[in-house]
Amino acid sequence: MAETLMTLAVSLILLGNLFSIVRLVKGPTPIDRVIAIDVMTVTSISIIVLLAHFGGRFIYVDVAIVYGLLSFLGVLAVARYSEKGF
Amino acid sequence: MQDLLHVLGALITLAGSAFLLLGGYGVLRMPDCYNRLQAGTKASTLGTILALIGIGLFHPSWFGKLLILAFFVMLTSPIAAHALARAAHASKVPLSERTVVDKLAEREAP
């Protein structure tokens, strides 16, 4: 019961990620593409933690923390650059 | 008791994944850049926090680090969205034609 619901949750998250990928390919301006990447990375944190649950490995949670930190820094760098340059 | 906790955690995770799905759909569907930013950021922040809490109910020994991760997402996601909105406004991305008011342009006009 519980594992079936978790599998359903992973498939819903992957479907949402697919919508973001469509916006990443279509997006008319560069800011739209960065928004799509931002949403995809915040979504991928949940996917990584769900993979940690399925595999039963605690170390993947640390991977999710580092991934979130790097994606935040990347998005912030792109935003500051396109606002007024470094 | 253990099974009840597992089913409760799975239901909370499922609610969070529904919010993540709606966030992705909002990014695809909304008319301009700022609406996309708002839909994606709010829904994905709430969905991530719900999913992390749900998995924390599965594994009680992981709960501390998952709570730190949820706090981190709650702290950084609005900052990234704010910086992106300022960047979009500064690089003159056009607003949707149904926009009513633009306070930042009014304030920056002399």
Q: Residue ranges of the domains in chain A?
A: 2-84
Model confidence pLDDT, tens digit, residues B68-100: 999 999 999 999 999 999 999 888 888 888 888
> What residues of B are in contact with residue A65 (Cβ under 8 Å)?
65, 68-69, 72
Contact A16 B65 (CB under 8 A): no
Residues 19-58 of B with CB under 8 A from A: 20-25, 27-28, 33, 36-37, 40-41, 44-45, 47-48, 51-52, 55, 58
Buried b (16+ CB within 10 A) or exposed e, A33-65: bbbbbbbbbbbbbbbbbbebbeeeeeebbeebb
What is the model's pLDDT at position B105? 82
Contact A20 B3 (CB under 8 A): no
Confidence of residue A71 (pLDDT cuts 50, 70, 90): very high
> What residues of A are in contact with residue B79 (Cβ under 8 Å)?
72, 76
Q: Is B94 strand, coil or helix?
A: coil
Q: Is the pLDDT of residue B1 over 90?
A: no
Model confidence pLDDT, tens digit, residues A27-51: 788 899 999 999 999 999 999 999 9
Identify the sign of the CA torsion B25, A23, A47, A8: positive
pTM (2 d.p.): 0.90
What is the model's pLDDT at position A52? 93
Considering only CB atoms, A31 lies closest to which of B6, B44, B91, namely B91
What is the model's pLDDT at position A85? 56
Closest-CA distance of chain A to residue B89, Å = 8
B81/B104: higher pLDDT: B81
Distance from the Cα of residue A41 to its chain's centroid: 2
- The Cα–Cα gap between B71 and B31 comes to 30
Closest-CA distance of chain A to residue B53, Å = 11
- Mean pLDDT (chain B) is 90
What is the model's pLDDT at position B15? 94
Q: If DSSP states are collapsed to H, E and C, what string results for B69-91?
A: HHHHHHHHHHHHHHHHHHHHHHC
- The Cα–Cα gap between A16 and A18 comes to 5
Q: Where are the domains of chain B?
A: 2-108
Contact B19, B44 (CB under 8 A): yes
Model confidence pLDDT, tens digit, residues B12-31: 999 999 999 999 999 999 88
What is the model's pLDDT at position B96? 83
Closest-CA distance of chain A to residue B110, Å = 20
Q: What is the mean pLDDT of residues B3-13?
A: 91
- The Cα–Cα gap between B14 and B77 comes to 21
Model confidence pLDDT, tens digit, residues B28-41: 998 888 999 999 89
What is the model's pLDDT at position B46? 94
Chains A, B: CB pairs < 8 Å: 171
